[in-house]
Amino acid sequence: MSRETTRDNIIALDPHSDDTPKRNMGAPITFDNLDAIRINRSATERRIATLAGRRSVKKEWQAAWLLKAISCIDLTTLAGDDTPGRVERLCAKARHPVRSDILEALGMNQAGITTGAVCVYHEMVPIAVEALKGSGIPVAAVSTGFPAGLSPFITRLEEIKASVEAGANEIDIVISRRHVLLEDWSALHDEIADFREACGEAHLKTILATGELGSLTSVAKASMVCMHAGADFIKTSTGMEGVNATLPVSLVMTRCIRDYYQRTGQQVGFKPAGGIGDAKTALAYLILIKEELGDDWLSPHLFRFGASRLLNDIERQLEHFVTGHYSATHRHPMG
């Protein structure tokens, strides 16, 4: 394997020279137009079924794509027993997500590879901010009564403001699912616009909880409303629903992003979350993004995985590529 080849492969996946994330300013929306949105589930599933056969990523190209996947991970801990020590260890892993001997064998030890962000509850934001100081890795905070989103509205707004004040660069909010189930699109739009205002300069990632919305058509309509209201990212799930990220749902959401971009010229990011725990699945999502949105979206500024277990498997796959052997999971600790 050529070290230069692997380095060239990973660089080729990210054409951006400008590292400054751009905001989605939103756009006017006519709610009556949402009635025209119809999603054919069978056609969606047929399109997803073709992904595995259309592209085969092997050898050094697979290693490069897996390194790209690492750079797009929101490394997450959202447990009731989180402690400052656990968050600090997670942040250390975010700074150095792959063992140095593996990176050296890949010729990537000077590439500065980190995860895309670290995602925590509000209480742990100051801990993460301090642990990541100087790294350039943003801190994301889940907010607005995560995961159910049923706390009082004023409380949800104040939670956003408190996390931004504590240093969070990104806010992952949950929408009120009832607005989608009742098709009260105006209420959903106003809610997201208020959350967007409360975020100030922090980026807003809206979690749709797609497994609770009833249909792919509802997912598409909710995606469009959130983007028009100013969401910088649309995200599939909290990771705590019965059904979390799936490729059919992701296809619908990415095509909504593409349609919004074609209509407004504004790029909105996409974040699948929940249940993405192995390298093979991560590759399928990267291929989907490349085919549906193009290379511009293969960047942590426009694509993220919401995951905690994924990094562990990717690191094992990279060691297998380097050595030809799979190692035990404990050789790749999260912290």
| Chain segment 318-329, per-residue pLDDT in tens | 999 999 887 776
Sheet holding 117-120, edge to edge: 269-271, 233-235, 203-207, 170-174, 139-143, 117-120, 73-76, 305-307
Cα–Cα distance measured from residue 313 to residue 127, given in angstroms and rounded to the nearest whole number: 26
| pTM (predicted TM-score) | 0.92
* Catalytic residue status for 280: no
- Annotated catalytic residue, options 68, 93, 205, 271: 271
Alpha-carbon torsion, ordered 32, 33, 36, 41, to 10 deg = -100
Q: What is the pLDDT of residues 203-251, one digit of tens each?
A: 999 999 999 999 999 999 999 999 999 999 999 999 999 999 999 999 9
- Annotated catalytic residue, options 74, 93, 172, 205: 172
* Widest pairwise Cα distance in the chain: 58
Residue 22 counted as domain residue: no
Range of the domain at 56: 3-15+29-331
Among 112, 111, 98, which Cα is nearest to 316's? 98
109 or 67: which carries more pLDDT confidence?
Answer: 67
State both tokens at 95: 């700074």
Q: Would you state the pLDDT for residue 16?
A: 39
Q: At what angle do helices 3-12 and 59-71 cross, to 10 degrees?
A: 50
Residue 21 counted as domain residue: no
* Catalytic residue status for 58: no
State both tokens at 241: 């629903």
Residue 23 counted as domain residue: no
- Annotated catalytic residue, options 93, 232, 235, 313: 235
> Total structural domains in the chain?
1
Residue 54 counted as domain residue: yes
Cα–Cα distance measured from residue 84 to residue 293, given in angstroms and rounded to the nearest whole number: 38
Residue 20 counted as domain residue: no
| Helix boundaries (H) for the chain | 3-12, 41-49, 51-54, 59-71, 84-95, 100-106, 125-131, 153-165, 177-181, 185-199, 216-228, 247-264, 279-292, 310-323
Q: What is the pLDDT of residues 123-141, one digit of tens each?
A: 999 999 999 999 999 999 9
Q: What CATH number corresponds to the domain at position 204? A: 3.20.20.70
159 pLDDT exceeds 60? yes
Residue 222 counted as domain residue: yes
As a whole number of Å, the end-to-end CA separation of the chain is 30
Lowest mean pLDDT: which of 14-23, 34-43, 119-128, 252-261? 14-23
Q: Which residue has the tokens 């063992």?
A: 99
Cα–Cα distance measured from residue 142 to residue 238, given in angstroms and rounded to the nearest whole number: 9
* Catalytic residue status for 68: no
